[in-house]
Amino acid sequence: MSLVKLTIKGISYSQTQNGAYALILNEVDGERKLPIVIGAFEAQSIAIALEKEIKPPRPLTHDLFKSFADRFDIVVKQVIIHKLVDGVFYSSIICERDKIEEIIDARTSDAIALALRFQAPIFTYKNILDKAGIYLNPTGSESESDDVLSSPEPLGDSKDTSGSGLSKFSLAELHEQLENAVQDEDYEKAARIRDEISKRES
């Protein structure tokens, strides 16, 4: 299976779920976006890594992991989002120490927070992007939106962002809602609708 490189577009705050965020990943050589719903702590950690000027007074968990790895000469070489099951993304962190490579299972949000700190590339497989990727503007004239943020915003515990409430809609209605959510750049809603569609079509 071929790997597709991804970059981080930003983090979109959910307008419907308190404490929920959508992490938006860009396909490097394409136009698709991969929205992944994450919790508030992980969103804050990723946002801090994106904003180089922000230095927390004490190290966050991912900063501690980076310091620990540096001390013992462990390098994160890359992160691969390798599986999508029932709307949940699974990732692997590819590490190296003394020229020995290890693969570590991780939550996608944690893996990406670490990839940023190690300046490691992020990949997914083409079949996952084919299944879960969203076209924002097929014309390529994408405009930046103010609701896609990089700045951290501490919130309470993350809520369940599964596709609850979507089961009453037909597939055709879900596809229409997905298109509208993408046009409105409501990535978190689009991710939930996409996950519901994925469950039904799998």
Q: Which domain holds residue 191?
A: 171-201
Reported confidence tier of residue 66, pLDDT bands at 50, 70, 90: very high
Most confident option among 95-99, 171-175, 197-201:
95-99
| Assigned domain for 44 exists | yes
Is 177 found in the same domain as 84? no
In this structure, the chain runs to a length of: 202
Interval 180-193 mean pLDDT: 74
CATH number of the domain bearing residue 13: 3.10.690.10
| Assigned domain for 160 exists | no
Domain total for the chain? 2
Last residue of a domain, one of 87, 108, 135: 135
Is 177 found in the same domain as 129? no
| Assigned domain for 144 exists | no
| C-alpha span between 23 and 162 (Å, rounded) | 15
| C-alpha span between 123 and 110 (Å, rounded) | 14
Is 122 found in the same domain as 176? no
Token output for 55? 């230095």
3-state secondary structure of 57: coil
Contact present, 93 and 118 (Cβ < 8 Å): no
Q: Which residue has the higher pLDDT, 100 or 153?
A: 100
pLDDT of residue 185: 62
DSSP string, 155-174: -SPPPP-S-TT-TTS-HHHH
Residue reference for tokens 């390529």: 140
pLDDT of residue 145: 39
Last residue of a domain, one of 112, 135, 158: 135
| C-alpha span between 43 and 18 (Å, rounded) | 13
Contact present, 23 and 43 (Cβ < 8 Å): yes
Q: Which residue has the higher pLDDT, 201 or 97?
A: 97
Interval 95-121 mean pLDDT: 96
pLDDT of residue 195: 79
> pLDDT digit string (tens) for 14-64?
665 666 788 999 999 888 999 998 988 899 899 889 887 667 778 889 999
| Assigned domain for 76 exists | yes
Most distant CA pair in the chain: distance in Å? 54
| Assigned domain for 159 exists | no
Give the least confident one: 37-46, 76-85, 121-130. Answer: 37-46
Last residue of a domain, one of 135, 154, 184: 135
> Cα separations (Å) of 48 from 31, 68, 121, 149?
26, 19, 18, 11
Q: Does residue 191 have a pLDDT over 80?
A: no
| Assigned domain for 145 exists | no
| Assigned domain for 161 exists | no
Is 177 found in the same domain as 114? no
| Assigned domain for 97 exists | yes
